[in-house]
Amino acid sequence: MAATFGTYLAFGVFFKPVLTEFGWTRGLTSGAFSLSMVMQGLLGIVMGGLTDRLGPRTVLTLCGFFLGLGYLLVSQINAVWQLYLFYGVIIGIGMSGIVVPLLSTVARWFVRRRSMMAGIVMSGTGIGTLIGPPVANWLISAYAWRTSYMILGGAVLIIVVSAAQLLRRDPDQMGQLPYGENEGGEHESKVRTEGFSLKQAAYTRQLWIISAMLFCFGFCLFSIIVHIVPHATDLGISAASAASILATIGAVGIAGNVVLGTAADRIGNRQVFLISFILMSSGLFWLVRATEVWMLCLFAAVLGFARGGMGASESPLVAGFFGLSSHGLIFGVTGLGLTTGAAIGPFLTGSIFDVTGSYQTAFLVCAAISIVGLVLTAFLRPIKAKQGKAEVG
């Protein structure tokens, strides 16, 4: 998680160096990131299904190879179509097999403290966001952006492929039970082995509400991740300080992953989503008026904490509603909502800037989308047997 997201979310740090060299618009450049999100969403369903069948080791090995290859190829681009092919398609393929397989594996290994453990794993994204942007900024200043992408690509390839060899899909493969199953008794075992199929889940309104919630989450989060660094430098803030703002999202996100992930095991994953959307909406309204480094860092801290809570609760929320028998596949489908939002958000935000010359309108749109996510979460209710074709437990 740290290796993949540390490099992937450093896109905003590379944004202006690439613009400076090629003179492309912000909307056009953002489109490559958006395309990678589309690829993640579509192929995330496939990777989730492959994880259910083959396990995470095979999926992560394949995707680690594509990620490393993609960054190495991006370092050689000379035209916008190459950026879209190498970053949008190849890196998108690589990233499609990261979140869903890893979090689906965690859900299979833990019955008790599932949200907390998912939060600990998701804290890798925060660690990556904390380390990646400052390291990328240092590499760019020392070696220029092309060499920097070559270094990052090689590192990701080695780390992800190597770590993938240690993964196992579920404890049955090692003659063990999931943590806490012996305490959960027959009910928890039945949830783990039966659950919903994707076809059965599709008959429930909860699947589509969760997907829409994640759309709102992805739209807002990735609009900020792609554009907060160029926005800060537009305000006259140095590139190093701007990268530290992005890193703050990651740093506080670690706390959000652990604190709200632990809280979710007690108060429920839906309640954590409600808290997180309230924080995100408040932060985005604050961002519209933020003009100084401390104000942007405060926003980044609020957004990071909210991001941590939702990131920790995504997979357990799906497991709680639909069980684990097809968790990877169903989680991949709901993840398509997140990646669709993450694809549309950065592109629309960049396009609004190209038209208006400011990010203010775009940030207000993000705040409105976050409020929609809050309302959707408030309407999320447990599944009744008559809604679907199966009932978990």
Q: How far apart are the C-alpha atoms of 375 and 231, rounded to whole Å?
A: 29
Q: What is the dihedral of CA 285, 357, 217, 257, to 10 degrees?
A: -70
Q: Which of 273, 258, 393 is nearest to 334 (CA)?
A: 273
Cβ of 84: how many Cβ atoms within 10 Å?
19
16 neighbors 344 (Cβ within 8 angstroms): no
First vs last C-alpha separation in the chain: 32
pLDDT of residue 374: 97
Structure tokens belonging to residue 269: 């994953």
Q: How far apart are the C-alpha atoms of 39 and 37, rounded to whole Å?
A: 5
Structure tokens belonging to residue 55: 């396990």
Cβ of 151: how many Cβ atoms within 10 Å?
17
Q: Which of 4, 271, 264, 298 is nearest to 126 (CA)?
A: 4
Q: How far apart are the C-alpha atoms of 73 and 149, rounded to whole Å?
A: 9
pLDDT of residue 339: 85
Residues with Cβ within 8 Å of 255's Cβ and at least 6 positions away in sequence, in order, are: 304, 305, 308
Q: Which domains does the chain have, with CATH numbers?
A: 2-169+185-380 (1.20.1250.20)
Q: What residue spans of the chain are helical by DSSP H?
A: 2-8, 11-22, 26-54, 56-74, 80-83, 92-96, 99-109, 114-164, 181-193, 198-202, 205-234, 239-267, 269-289, 293-322, 327-356, 360-378
Q: How far apart are the C-alpha atoms of 314 and 214, rounded to whole Å?
A: 8
Mean pLDDT, each 10-residue run in order, the chain (393 residues): 90 88 90 88 86 89 95 95 96 91 86 84 86 91 94 95 90 77 53 72 93 96 90 91 88 89 90 96 94 93 93 88 85 87 90 92 96 96 64 39
pLDDT of residue 182: 67
Which amino acid belongs to residue 38?
V
DSSP secondary structure letters along 53-112 = HH-HHHHHHHHHHHHHHHHHHHTT--SHHHHIIIIIIIIHHHHHTTHHHHHHHHHHHBST
Find where tokens 């994707």 sit.
198
CA 15 vs CA 3, 30, 137: distances in Å: 20, 8, 11
pTM, rounded to two decimals:
0.76
